[in-house]
Amino acid sequence: MALEHAILVSLLERPGSGYELARRFERSIGRFWTATHQQIYRVLKRMETDGWVTGEEVGQDGRPDKRSFTVTGSGRDTLVEWLRAPVAPEAVRHELAVKIRGAAFTDDTGRAELLAEVERYRADHETLLTTYLNGEKRDFPDPMTLDAGQRLQHVVLRGGIAYERMLLDWLDDVLDTLRAL
């Protein structure tokens, strides 16, 4: 129930089309809120009907036309209102943790396969950490000169970095535990 709000934040940071939003959700916004293009187009349509955003046709050459969306005053009010509401406790869904506890009920072969899968998963997150660190160097090279919005974006990115580092450490702990069984 907050994809609307994630879209509002992203469009306030910079107006854009559904397609552009989908790309952002694969990159920066996607670090803390994922969404597919299908979902984005549907929600965007509802938000337009509700008067939270307005779409403007933009002709492009060499590319299909697009509709660029901007947040209205009413949309901004909606966001500000939502910011005041308490943060809902998140629904935790950590599949890997289920599998690790499940490893107690399979044989050596199954455990070896899980171990390999954890290693693959770890490699993915190592790549992700590198991407975050490169993004940090690129987007926030001089932390002293940032405006309010950039400082907030930066602290969220630092959260992603801290999460990935914690995860990698824990995965090493998991690998050691699986190997020692």
Binding site for a copy of itself (CB under 8 A): 2, 5-6, 8-9, 12-13, 30-34, 76, 79-80, 82-84, 86-106, 110, 113-114, 117, 120-121, 124, 148-149, 151-156, 158-159, 162-163, 165-166, 169-170, 173-174, 177, 180-181
* Residue 59 binds which of DNA, a copy of itself, none (CB < 5-8 A, kind-dependent): none
Regarding 89 and contact with DNA (CB under 7 A), the answer is: no
Query: Which DSSP helix (H) or strand (E) runs through 174?
Result: helix 148-180
Residue 97, binding choice from a copy of itself, DNA, none, Cβ under 5 to 8 Å by partner class: a copy of itself
| Closest-CA residue to 8 (of 69, 89, 66) | 69
3 vs 167, beta carbon nearer DNA: 3
Helix (H) or strand (E) holding 71: strand 66-71
* Residue 86 binds DNA, judged by CB under 7 A: no
Residue 151, binding choice from a copy of itself, DNA, none, Cβ under 5 to 8 Å by partner class: a copy of itself
For residue 78, give Cα distances in angstroms to 8, 28, 37, 74, 148. Answer: 9, 23, 23, 6, 21
Task: Give dist(CA 165, CA 126) in Å, integer.
Answer: 8
Helix axes 95-102, 108-139, angle to 10 degrees: 160
Task: Check binding of 63 to DNA (CB under 7 A).
Answer: yes
Q: Which is nearer to a copy of itself, 55 or 161 (CB)?
A: 161
**What is the binding site for DNA (CB under 7 A)?**
1-3, 17-20, 22-23, 34-39, 41-45, 60-67, 91, 93
